[in-house]
Amino acid sequence: MQKNQRIIFYILILIAGAAWITISADTTNATAGTSAPQAGFTAPDFTLKTPDGEGYRLSELKGNAVLVNLWATWCPPCRAEMPAIEKMYQEYKDQGLVVLAVNMTYQDDPANVSPFIQEYGLTFPVLLEETGNVGTAYQLRSLPSTYFINRAGIIQEVVIGGPMSEALLRTRIEQILQ
């Protein structure tokens, strides 16, 4: 291929790439008006139920420090960090800590949730996320994902992955309790 042919070939590739980007761009603006699931932003609101049917709405918990943990029963790091989360909940619940363990039920087997709660002796609310809406609102990319939300409903810290150590949990929880 001669030099002029290569230049024309490269220009055509660039034009095709630009056309593809323009055609495939998401112009629906689907996230307009929603909170960003990152530090400094209001936590996206959700309403979910426990396996027993008790409902929880995140926005109704303002005034409390809230730890939202997105997890699944099949996730080894999720399983590994649950005892530490339970321990921290027992230690700080009287100071206003609320833990919402949001099971990604749409990615999990719902029949495994109640045995998991029993196996780990969890006393905080375990919520069932059956639609994927919370995962979308929180831009879930990896399990576990944990959001530390202060008393004003603002995300202070996001921890993607795990398992989290007791020391990390304690530090983040004490920050959101202030």
Q: What SS3 string covers 109-177?
A: CHHHHHHHHHHHCCCCCEEECCCCHHHHHCCCCCCCEEEEECCCCEEEEEEECCCCCHHHHHHHHHHHH
Provide mean pLDDT across the span 21-38. 59
Per-domain boundaries in the chain: 35-177
CATH code of the region 35-177: 3.40.30.10
Share of the chain above pLDDT 70, in %: 92
Query: Tell me: the pLDDT tens digits for 45-59?
Result: 999 999 999 999 999
**pTM value?**
0.79
Instruction: Determine contact, residues 158/169, Cβ cutoff 8 Å.
Output: no
